[in-house]
Structure formats: structure tokens, C-alpha cells
Amino acid sequence: MKVIKSIAIMGLTASLLIAQGQGKKKDEALQSVVHAGKQSAKLLLKTLGSNMKKNMKAGGPMKALDFCSQEAYNLTEKVNKELPKGVHVKRISMKFRNPANQPATDEAAVLEALQKLKSANVVLPKQIVQKVDENTYKYYKPLVINKNVCLKCHGNIQNPTLKRAIAERYPLDKATHYKMGDLRGAIVVTIKK
Ligand code: HEC
């Protein structure tokens, strides 16, 4: 009886140890996903943000619009070339201006969940990780309208020249009438092992 009991205990301890080892491995995998996601999102935000600022300063919203419509997408692709293999970054929104920024189905589910939280006055998390399959994760950084300058092009657009120029370039534009603090979309970093 005693022997059986100690064998059972040994077995239990062993399986706990194995489970713990697996848990640790999972933690490490998640940590490296978060690290890659954070770095890539930061790089994209910095690249787009600094160029936007430069253009806005140099020539106001019309020049900044030229930058956004001609360069934002290309610059995103350029950032992607600098990222490690298997890591890809982009911007998405349910109310997108450029149809290339339309979310995939699994991404739309995350944006809709974030919007629900926002509507319930929840302070949004800085980051969310979605497990797509054994080898693929998606890291999301929610983007909120947090500066007045965003409203120049995504709010109730006052400047008639700017309004016309945006409508001409983006006939299917959905990205207007935002207010300060609204959820604008997210940066998504796809990380493949
Ligand atoms: C000068 C006008 C302008 C300003 C200011 C501006 N945007 Fe945009 N934004 C655009 C344009 C144009 C696009 C479409 C870019 C493209 O074609 O890829 C865009 C696209 C986006 C997208 C990608 C999703 C989509 O709708 O296609 C996000 C997210 C976004 N803007 C957030 C912001 C935030 C946040 C701010 C404030 C920090 C901001 N924008 C300020 C013009 C602007």
C-alpha cells in the first residue's frame, strides 16, 4: 500500500514538473511574441508619426495628406523589410480610409471586441495577443484618436480643399467623423515561428 502510494505521488510530481516545464516554455514563447510585437509596432508608429509631423510643419494638412496617401503604405512596406523574417506589421480599422487597411476576419473580431470594451468605458489594454495557430500569433496595439491633429483628417473635416482632396483620393472613405478618444483601429503585428 505504502509503495503504491509513493509511486502514485512520484507520478503526480513528475507530471506536475512536466506541466510546469511546458508552462514556462509557453510563457517564454508569449514573451518573445510580445517583444517582437512591441518593437515592430513602435517602429511603424515612429516612422509614420515623424514623417507626418515633418510634412505638417512644412506645408500644413494638404502636404501631410499627400504624404499619407502617397507614402504611408509604402513606408509600412519599407518598415516590413527591416523586420525579422516571419514578422509583418500593418494598420487596420473597421472604418478604414484605404481599403488595403481592411481587417481580416480574425482581426475584425478583435477590433469589434475592443470597440465593445470602449463603449463600456473600459480603459483599453496597451496590447493584446491572439493565437492564430500553433505557429502564428497576432499582436495588437489599439490606436485611439489622441491628438487634435488626427481630427483634421479623421474628424468632421472643416477645410473644404482638404475635404475635397480626401474624397477624390478615397471615394469609399469611412474614416471621418471620429471624436477625441474614439477607437480608430489597431496596429497588427503577425508573428510566425
Ligand atoms: C493630413 C491628414 C491626416 C492626418 C492629420 C491623420 N491622418 Fe490618418 N490617414 C490619413 C490618410 C490619407 C490615410 C490613408 C493612408 C493610406 O492610403 O494608406 C490615413 C490612414 C490612417 C489609418 C489606417 C487605417 C485606414 O483608415 O486606412 C489609421 C489607423 C490612422 N490614419 C490614424 C490616424 C491617427 C491616430 C492620427 C492622429 C495621430 C491620424 N491618422 C492623422 C490622413 C490623415
Look at residue 5 and tell me if it is in a domain: no
Closest CA to 186 of 102, 67, 80, 83: 102
Residue 21 lies in a domain: no
The answer to whether position 17 is within a domain reads no
18 lies in some domain? no
What are the φ and ψ backbone dihedral angles of 48, each rounded to 5 degrees? -70, -45
Per-residue exposure over 123-133, b if at least 16 CB sit within 10 Å of its own CB, e if not: ebeebbebeee
- Evaluate: CB of 163 within 6 angstroms of ligand 1: no
Q: Using the atom order of ligand 1, give the atom closest to the CA of residue 73.
A: 18
What pLDDT is attached to residue 18?
55
Residues 18-58: tens digit of each pLDDT: 566 778 888 888 999 999 999 999 999 999 999 999 999 99
Residue located nearest, by CA, to atom 41 of ligand 1: 150
pLDDT of residue 21: 72
- Show the domain range for 179: 33-192
**pLDDT digits 0-9 by tens, 60-81:** 999 999 999 999 999 999 999 9
Q: Is residue 22 assigned to a domain?
A: no
pTM for the full model?
0.89
Question: Is 27 a domain residue?
Answer: no
Count of structural domains, the chain? 1
> Residue 67: inside a domain, yes or no?
yes
Residue 171 lies in a domain: yes
CB neighbours of 130 closer than 8 A, spacing ≥ 6? 106, 110, 137, 138, 139, 140
